[in-house]
Amino acid sequence: MTMDRELQVDWIACEAFGLCHDLAPDLVALDDWGYPILPQPAALAARMGDVRRIVDCCPARALRLTSGDRTRRAHEPGRSTRRGATGQRPSQAQA
């Protein structure tokens, strides 16, 4: 079973350092302001090692690799959920 993978940018977090382009210039282009222009998902499959490297090396942590299965994405390990000071989700804290 093959899952489509997509490289996404958190545009709020991105600070246009350009390291993603420096690490894989043939995969990630930069616009006039230094922000990444990402490849289409079809181009990622053959370059998954490079893609993971640019995600891991992003100094602003603005890049992420997602699966095409949107239902699963919401429950991936490592995804943050909002929790109050007690460590509970807001809806649990009020109960």
Token readout for 63 is 């890049």
Total count of residues recorded for the chain: 95
What DSSP string runs through 17-37? --HHHHH-TTT-EE-TTS-EE
Domain annotation covers residue 83: no
pLDDT bracket for residue 4 (50, 70, 90): confident
What domain range is 38 assigned to? 1-69
Cβ neighbours of residue 15 closer than 8 Å, sequence gap 6 or more: 59, 60, 62
Please write the tens of the pLDDT for every residue from 24-72.
999 999 999 999 999 888 888 889 999 999 999 999 999 999 986 554 4
Instruction: Count up the domains in the chain and report the number.
Output: 1
Please give the pLDDT value at position 90: 52
And the tokens for 11?
A: 């545009």
In this predicted structure, the answer to whether residue 87 has a pLDDT above a threshold of 60 is: no
Radius of gyration of the chain (CA): 16
- Tell me how far apart the 2 most distant CA atoms of the chain are, in Å: 52
Question: Residues 65, 71: contact at Cβ < 8 Å?
Answer: no
Domain membership flag for residue 88:
no
Kindly report the pTM of this predicted structure.
0.65
Examine residue 81 and state whether it is found in any structural domain, yes or no: no
Would residue 9 count as lying in a domain? yes
Report the CATH number that the domain containing residue 39 is assigned in CATH.
Answer: 3.30.70.20
